[in-house]
Amino acid sequence: MTATMPLAGTQRAFAAWLLHRHAGTAPDIVAACDGERAIRLDLYADGYRWRLVDVLRHDYPVLRASLGQDRFDALAEAYLHAHPSRHPSVRHVGTGFARWLATRTPEAPALADLARLEWAQGEVFDAAEADTADIGAMATLPADAWPALRLSLHPAVRRVHLRSNAAALLEAHAGGAVLPALRRQPLATWLLWRHAFDVHWRRLARDEAAALAAVARGVPFADWCMRLPGPTPALRAAGLLKRWLTDGLLTGLRIP
């Protein structure tokens, strides 16, 4: 290093070199290195970049399998160049990958769907634990408490809106099958949740998707129940509640 370069400037120049490998952004660092130290600097920068690429490979295995190793790595490097890691934990480095993909490739919407679904899968697996409500607690509620009843979703519950068959690729990858081609499909809402340390997913019927969205907003039971289609909305609501409780989607019952 040059003796005249302030420490803060040296740190900024080194960060620019480490993140982007632009020699022009760190001329003093590069110029001050002899051959051996320049090689070490290159190895450090390469190692840092490939470690982050490897993190993205781990976070998006189905997307990598669908694109192929070389194309995935090229997109991952381009993403990291555009969005350098800004969090102490590498767990967050892929947070914006789906949004970035949405405008970068010809098949962008479907690829972004798959990336968004895989990221949600990781969030479900990592989400905090919480005690779940059970059917017994529901059975003890007095009849006059039901209209104002509010439900709380488990921290590991996610809803993802997809316009592709991304979930079919996840299913095939989980079963060790050949991945189908990624293609566009009509909009659908998918539910992801965690049960017994495994992540599960299923496509939601339109009325269940609307009901879960209402529950997430804190809408009272009577309001979302009466919006369910069909001649017996209360019966449909009872069926939904039973399934949600069985799957461990709910953590609390609140009566204002």
Predicted TM-score (pTM) of this structure: 0.82
Q: What is the pLDDT of residue 87?
A: 76
Counting residues of the chain whose pLDDT is more than 70, the rounded percentage is 82
Question: What's the distance, CA 183 to chain centroid?
Answer: 20
How many residues appear in the chain?
256
Choice between 45 and 182, residue whose per-residue pLDDT is larger = 182
Element (H, E) at 88: none
Dump pLDDT digits (tens) for 132-157: 998 888 888 898 999 999 999 999 99
Separation CA 30–CA 34 (nearest Å):
8
Choice between 123 and 4, residue whose per-residue pLDDT is larger = 123
**Is residue 201 within 8 Å of 190, Cβ to Cβ?**
yes
Q: What is the pLDDT of residue 129?
A: 94
Q: Is the model's pLDDT at 26 over the cut of 80? A: no
Separation CA 220–CA 156 (nearest Å):
21
Q: What is the pLDDT of residue 85?
A: 79
**Is residue 151 within 8 Å of 222, Cβ to Cβ?**
no
Q: H helices within the chain, ranges in order? A: 7-20, 27-31, 35-59, 61-67, 69-82, 97-101, 108-126, 135-139, 166-174, 206-216, 221-225, 233-247
Q: What is the pLDDT of residue 108?
A: 83
Q: What is the pLDDT of residue 256?
A: 77
Q: What is the pLDDT of residue 196?
A: 84
Choice between 92 and 161, residue whose per-residue pLDDT is larger = 161
Q: Is the model's pLDDT at 103 over the cut of 90? A: no
Q: What is the pLDDT of residue 46?
A: 61
Q: What is the pLDDT of residue 2?
A: 44
Q: How many CA atoms lie less than 13 Å away from 244 in the CB half-sphere? A: 27
Dump pLDDT digits (tens) for 172-222: 999 999 999 999 999 999 999 999 889 999 999 999 999 999 999 999 999
